[in-house]
Structures are given as C-alpha cells and as structure tokens.
Structure 1
C-alpha cells in the first residue's frame, strides 16, 4: 500500500463450527489511480461485541504494520454493534481518528428496506412463504429434483416438436429451482424467475408427487399445487418479479468495483423513479401479463368487475 490512505471494510459471521469470525477487506488508491480492494483475511473473535471487534482490528493493524491514523473510511452493515452512536465499532474508531468516516453499505441498506417492506405486508409475506414451501418440497429431495429435471426435458422436447420453444444466445441453459436467502434479496429474484420459467413442469411434478402418494410431502405438495394454480399467486409472482427486477439491477450496480458515491446516489434516484412509474402507469400492463400467463396454464382469471369479498386465511 506504500503509505496510502485506506478504507476498512468489516463483516462478522460464524462458521460451520459456530465460531465467530470477522472478515476484513482493505480498499485504497494505487499510484496509477486505480482503486484496489484486497481481502486481508479472517480474524477469529471471542464474540461480536464492538469491544472485541475493535481489539481484533487493533491486533490486525499491528501485525500488518498499519496506522489507524491513515484510515479514511469505515464500511460496515447497520448492526448496532457496528454503527452504534455511543459504543459501536465506528464510534470507537472515530474517537481515535475523526477522519475515518462511516458509510453504511448501500447494497445492504437496499436489502434491509426490501425485508422491512415485505414483512410489513401480509399478502407478500404469505406469498414468499408459499415460494419457500415449493422450493423445499422439490429442492430438498433428490428424487423430486430428478423428477423435475426429467419433466423439464420432456417439456422442452415437446416445445421443440411444436416449434414453440424460444431460441437464442444464453437461453435454455440447464437450471434448477433456486433457493432464496433472507440476507440476499436478489436471490429471491432468481427464485421467481425460475418458478416462472419452469411453472408448467413444477405443476406436473407436484401432481406426480400427489399421485405417487408415498412421500412425507404429500399434504404439502397438494396444498402447494392449489396455491400456485391460483390467480392471486401468479399476480404476486409477476408483481414481485417486476419490483425485484428493478431493485436487483440497482443492487448489482451498487456492488461494482468502479462505483463512486455520486453515481450511486444517482442510481438510487433512478430506481425510485422507475418504481414510482410502475406504481402510476404499469398496472394495466402487469394485469395483462398475468392474465395471459393464467390463460396459458389453465388458471381461472377472475372478472375484475365483480364485487370483491376479502377472505381471511
């Protein structure tokens, strides 16, 4: 690093042995003007309190012969032990070096916003519960995964014979039913895309599980089949695909190595404008897309002019 100013990026987690770990990354500007980001290593900590993390960082700085006076930026998540105003890690470092400004990771803020909004809406929260159940029914069992793979091959062959299968670069790659992760909401976007692309095959596999009648997932498969063949599920499927598609593009852009904070703020603004446009102008197009998908897969489309009666589950 040759005496350059640098940034400190830290995240803590535990390994498979439930030992607390702290991952450390340094970012600095090289003489040529290139921004360099280097993973330094994983530091074991006794616990994840701010005091333990600060001691581990001091030990690391001493070992690699770096001075905290050269630190100019801290990048952590929004946990209280990291950004706490009175005794958080960022506050303890700021007491020693007032120039080490703290920046909450933009991509992580986006993930937290999505989680908070989703948990606050009962319909969307229920929808993702059904998605997780579907993934668990088919994704956990090797037998069910093989059934899905075989069914996909049959459906692809049938589509080729009818000349209704789309072709092109990057299309028709072998895929699977992707499992979502609560801490990475772009993974939910991948889950929705895989459900849409494999919907016909998923329905057939669930029917095969029910007809077989010999698995522990019989009841779950029957319920899952009823749920995914409803207009409400398909509507939420395409609705959340549109929203997560916009936020996924933003999340990927925020994680680019050549990103600067000015451009990041612009990207956030553009994403908000895109979501507002969807709110004001895209509902009819979304409804047409959902209705077309339902007709294709023999799902009943309700008459939108009928009186709506709320159903409590």
Structure 2
C-alpha cells in the first residue's frame, strides 16, 4: 500500500471519507436546509400572529420612523418585539437575530401577509354565500391623491339567518361613469366566482351616475338582471338629513355658546 503519504493511501482515505454517509455533502446540505426551514417557520408563525392581531383590532402597521434606533418603530415591529421576549428560540430567530434579508418586517412583506388574510376572508365569504343570492352596496369617491376609488360591499343572509355585510374590495377606477363602475364591479364579482344573476338588491347614493334612470349604474345592472331591487342608501339619506338640518339651524345671532 506504500507509505502514509503515498497516492494509494491518500486515495483510500478520501474514499473512506466519501463513504461516510453523515459527512456526505448532500446530507450536510439537507440537514442545514432543514434547520433553516425550522427557523423560518418559527419566524413566519410569529409574523402571522402579529398580522392577525392588528387586522382584528383594526390598527395601523407602520410607524413614522422604523429605523433600528427609533423608540417607536410602529405597531407591527413593536408587537413582534414583545412576543419574541417570551421565547429564547423566537428571540434568536427574529428581527436583528435573523439574516438582514430575511427578517419579514419590510412594508412589502407586511402587505403580502395582509393580502393572504384578505384572500382567506373572501374565500370564506364565497363559501358562506354559496349559490344563494346577495345584495350589492357600492360607493365611490376620490382619495387624497385625487384617484377615484370604488368600495364594494356584499350583503347576504348566512345559513344561520343572520344578515351580514362584507367588504370585498376597493377598486381604482379611471372615471366615475356608470359603465366604468359596472365593468369594475363585474371584474370583482367574477374574480370571486359571483355573478350579476345572483344580485337581488342594489344600494347606492343619489348621484346621477349611480341611480340615473337612463344610464345610471342601477339601470345597467337591471338590464343584466331585472330582479335587482334598488334602495337609496340609508346612510346617504341620513347624511343628507343631517346636512339639511345643520343648514337650517345654523348659529343664531346672540346665541350663547354652550360649554
């Protein structure tokens, strides 16, 4: 076999190392991957808990200053910091203890988590409605950036007989014409496997593009399904009453200020 440093002995030693299964490259990489997967799952589990809590209470995620040196980095990160104090394993695998490119705290990641929850809520709503009928509630207005946004809500009666109103989407529309709104509503309903044929009620405000007798959204949907009953939105009626009362009974001259 030759000396210890002979080519034969060196080849035999390398062959023995290769035959040791626990030291094989693929085994070592697989073991390392499993460890990283466990760490990531623990990190993801805590993030989901934080997102679910903030969504349930309806609180904002971000903060004004989310830098490491900030005293208040926003509710998402601050709640995450509080939870990680309860477990050494979680503490060692979240925030600054995790890789800088895998901390799950960026605004993009937070929005993705929210979208996943939204998809689950929509799926639950679709299953709750099933093949039953529902009512359509729609309103549109411009946001601070002057973009037109349309909110869509579905009203239905669940299997237990309770009336529910579920917000299913906020859609950006290029204009507020009745045809544009109808097409946007159709896209939302189609994406949620719903159709105009199941609509039995419509609720909008009194704007001409919504309840107009000629080309309003109400008429366009009635052309698709003539069983959809239109009801002027009660919230909008109340708003009109409050505005009218406020204008009628304005501040009178000589009236004393109530403290």
Judging by fraction of residues, say which structure has more helix: 1
Q: Return the index of the structure with the highest Cα Rg.
A: 2
The TM-score, its normalising length taken from structure 2, stands at: 0.47
